[in-house]
Amino acid sequence: MNGLGGLNKSPNGVVIGLVQLQLPSVVTPADLIAQTDRVVAMVAKARANLATMDLVVFPEYALHGLSMDTNPEIMCRLDGPEVAAFQKACRDHRIWGCFSIMEFNPHGNPYNTGLIIDDRGDVKLTYRKLHPWVPVEPWEPGDLGIPVIEGPKGAKLGLIICHDGMFPEMARECAYRGAEIMIRTAGYTAPIRDSWRFTNQANAFSNLMVTANVCLCGSDGTFDSMGEGMICNFDGAVIAHGTTGRVDEIITAEVRPDLVREARLHWGVENNIYQLGHRGYTAVKGGARDCPYTYMHDLAAGRYRVPWEDEVKVVDGTSCGFAAPTRSYGAAQTPLAREAAE
């Protein structure tokens, strides 16, 4: 289903716009203000571009670019002016929006944070990237899990960020928690193009879930991002794809969460998200419901260890110019993380 990019919207359709935003260079607080204004202007463009659009999605690093600068002066807060500007834009243009900030963390390195804001300007989802792209990224590992919310037309939305999507467990967790559409925002550059494409499709197919994925686009004079806005249907088929690398292009498509629900209920062959926990139900009633996967048991017990553990060469960020960390994960927990855990 595409509906000519959402021009012809069905009663059950959700129209998504993926903004292949020009890769910015942000060094100073003034740069941050200017880039916030630019993102807000692109929300207006999205609404003017397609009156049927329900959700506009901006890539990871939309405010900060790819410098990996952790300068507190350009970090954002959840109650700060940048988020407030995004809320106002969504409210003014009556559109849902997905945004990216680097979030100040008083207890350690900043978080790489994604937000979903509804068409009344309320923040409905806050997600902190669980898997920073090590060793390149200095961000604190996320501590809020993977929230799933009810979005436009009642569609269940999940959000992951960039490298998260290379772990099939991330998409599986989204689907297991009910997501019918999984958003993946990114700042990836060209060397990742092939793996970007096939993981977006695999994440969709393996979980009977729509995936909506977008990267930054263009060059900041040092790095070159690839755009690659990509919407995959729940059977893994690509229904929209920005292959030209044109900056600020908005890739659009209509998706059908109602058909996701139908497939999850009625598919027999390849209903993988259900069958994972009901192995061999043709032979045994209800299927085998044990957990035969060693890595799952070990991860849950805090003893995850690959057979080649002692031979791994890159285990911190020193190869990318970051000092080796001395603080263990979980040494300090923010009030928001405690609230999410409860």
Active-site residue set: 60, 129, 162
Buried-exposed string 118-153: b where 16+ CB fall within 10 A, e elsewhere: bbebebebbbbbbbbbbeebbbbbbbbebbbbebbe
Q: Respond yes or no on whether the N-terminal peptide bond of residue 135 is cis (omega within 30° of 0).
A: yes
Residue 44's SS3 state is helix
Q: Which residue has the tokens 């970007």?
A: 196
Contact between 103 and 144 (Cβ < 8 Å): no
- Pull the structure tokens for residue 43: 């929300």
Q: What is the amino acid identity at position 98? A: C
Query: Pick from 73, 84, 67: which is nearest to 24 by CA?
Result: 67
- No. of helices (H) and no. of strands (E), the chain: 9, 14
| 38 HSE (CA, 13 A, CB side) | 18
Contact between 56 and 250 (Cβ < 8 Å): yes
Q: What is the amino acid identity at position 16? A: I
